[in-house]
């Protein structure tokens, strides 16, 4: 069935390090892909999205490119900050005509000074 697979956490980095959080998906058709972020004690917020192959979503220094050939949507940031510590969720929506989101299990990022 349709699903999203994320790398296990926690990911522990020092401030200013490069971040990659892997996300791969299985889906029929042409899904839209999302990254949501959950800061401690809060709900999820949309971080970025991409709706078709080769699109690059970006926000707050984070980027992810929709790679249809590898069914991936890896999240990257060139220089992380302590304030980026959060749980990151990859998600997909099977088509533009549906509102159903399928989430990955989440990856916790811990950034230390």
Interface with another protein (CB under 8 A): 4, 41-46, 51, 89, 93, 95-101, 103-106
Q: Phi then psi for 83, rounded to 5 degrees?
A: -70, -10
**Cβ proximity to another protein, 69 vs 99, nearer residue:** 99
Q: Which is nearer to another protein, 19 or 104 (CB)?
A: 104
Cα 73 to the center of its chain, rounded Å: 7
Q: Minimum distance between the CB of residue 103 and another protein, rounded to whole angstroms?
A: 4
Q: Which is nearer to another protein, 43 or 113 (CB)?
A: 43
CB of 12 to another protein, least distance (A): 18
The helix/strand/coil state of 82 is: helix
Handedness of CA 52, 70, 65, 103 (dihedral sign): positive
Q: Which helix (H) or strand (E) holds 91?
A: strand 86-93
The DSSP bridge partners found for residue 92 are 33, 102
Whether a cis peptide bond, with omega within 30° of 0, leads into 7 is: no
CB of 15 to another protein, least distance (A): 26
Nearer to another protein, 36 or 74 (CB): 36
Min. distance of Cβ 17 from another protein in angstroms? 25
């Amino acid at each position: 069935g349709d699903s999203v697979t994320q790398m296990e956490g926690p990911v522990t980095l020092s401030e200013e390090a490069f971040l990659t959080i892997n996300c791969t998906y299985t889906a029929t058709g042409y899904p839209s892909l999302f990254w949501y972020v959950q800061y401690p004690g809060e709900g999820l917020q949309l971080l970025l999205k991409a709706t078709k192959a080769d699109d690059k979503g970006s926000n707050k220094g984070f980027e992810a490119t929709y790679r249809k050939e590898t069914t991936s949507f890896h999240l990257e940031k060139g220089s992380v900050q302590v304030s980026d510590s959060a749980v990151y969720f990859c998600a997909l929506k099977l088509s533009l005509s549906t509102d159903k989101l399928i989430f990955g299990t989440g990856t916790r990022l811990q950034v230390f000074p």
